[in-house]
Amino acid sequence: MNKPLILVSNDDGITSKGIRTLVEVMKELGEVIVVAPDSPQSGMGHAITIGNTLRLEENNIFDDVVAYQCSGTPADCVKLAKHFVLKDRKPDLVVSGINHGSNTSISVLYSGTMSAAIEGAIEGMPSIGFSLCDFSADADFSHVKAYVKSIAKNVLEKGVPKGIALNVNFPPKRNENIKGVKVCRQARAKWQEQFDQRYDPNGRRYFWMAGNFVNHDKGEDNDEWAIANNYVSIVPCLFDLTAHHAISTLNDDWNLTV
């Protein structure tokens, strides 16, 4: 009963290698409850299910951990965990991941992994999203376990400012050890999309999104630089998207009378 209560979710689905790694580490720190999607939900952003039913079923995929699979999005999973699974119990920590692939820079807006963490922050719970910058199905997570444990332990013991979720990205496993951790900002970078126009066997047109990630940021204090230079990046993220510095500009410069 004295152990911290840790809620684990993700966007790659309850059977992913990344969430299994995360559960293993979190078991060393507290009591773990898993509520995760029953299928991959990558790129869902902060979507929630409002026009369809939500299904929640117990899953014994983790031997000694209570786990549920949910038909909804990562944000749905955290909401259902708080309001139904845990009821009167509030998690001491919400962790999401470990994602198969990068969630640096602008990807934080599209990320289902980070939406679970940000949903936790909205509900007033310390939250972390973990991602490994390796999209391969057989990605090696072994080199990040100690960092996952250290970061989570720091959050449990020292907390994070209210309303903030940490976006943590790990470099892929390389020949050299990770150099350390950088607390940094989100890089000014974006996806430059291209759309392949194709046709199915019935002659109906469809599109396949492709493109390249373009980094316009030359700074050395951002998450893209940290990953490229073999550091772990930690970006504190707010769910308040208000551009506070623009309020006075709009009030002073615009004529809003009608």
One-letter amino acid of 117? A
Mean pLDDT calculated for residue range 225-229: 97
**Annotated binding site, which residues?**
11-12, 42, 99
pTM of the complete model:
0.93
Query: pLDDT tens digit string along 152-198?
Result: 999 999 999 999 999 999 999 998 999 999 999 999 999 888 999 99
State residue 186's pLDDT score: 96
**Annotated binding site for a divalent metal cation, which residues?**
11-12, 42, 99
State residue 257's pLDDT score: 86
State residue 157's pLDDT score: 96
Instruction: Name the residue with higher pLDDT: 43 or 104.
Output: 104
State residue 43's pLDDT score: 86
Cα separation, 102 vs 86, whole angstroms: 30
Enumerate the β-bridge partners of residue 215: 189
- pLDDT class of 1 with cuts at 50, 70, 90: low
End-to-end CA distance of the chain: 61
| Contact between 115 and 45 (Cβ < 8 Å) | yes
DSSP string, 138-189: T---GGGHHHHHHHHHHHHHH---TTEEEEEEEPPP-SSPP--EEE-BPPSE
State residue 223's pLDDT score: 97
Phi, psi at residue 191, to the nearest 5°? -90, 130
Mean pLDDT calculated for residue range 108-131: 96
Helix (H) or strand (E) holding 19, with range, is helix 17-26
Domain 5-187+219-253 in CATH 3.40.1210.10? The answer is yes
Query: pLDDT tens digit string along 13-37?
Result: 999 999 999 999 999 999 999 999 9
Query: pLDDT tens digit string along 35-82?
Result: 999 998 888 889 999 999 999 999 999 989 999 999 999 999 999 999
Residue 214 has pLDDT above 80, yes or no: yes
Question: Exposed, middle or buried by CB within 10 Å (0-12, 13-18, 19+), for 51?
Answer: exposed
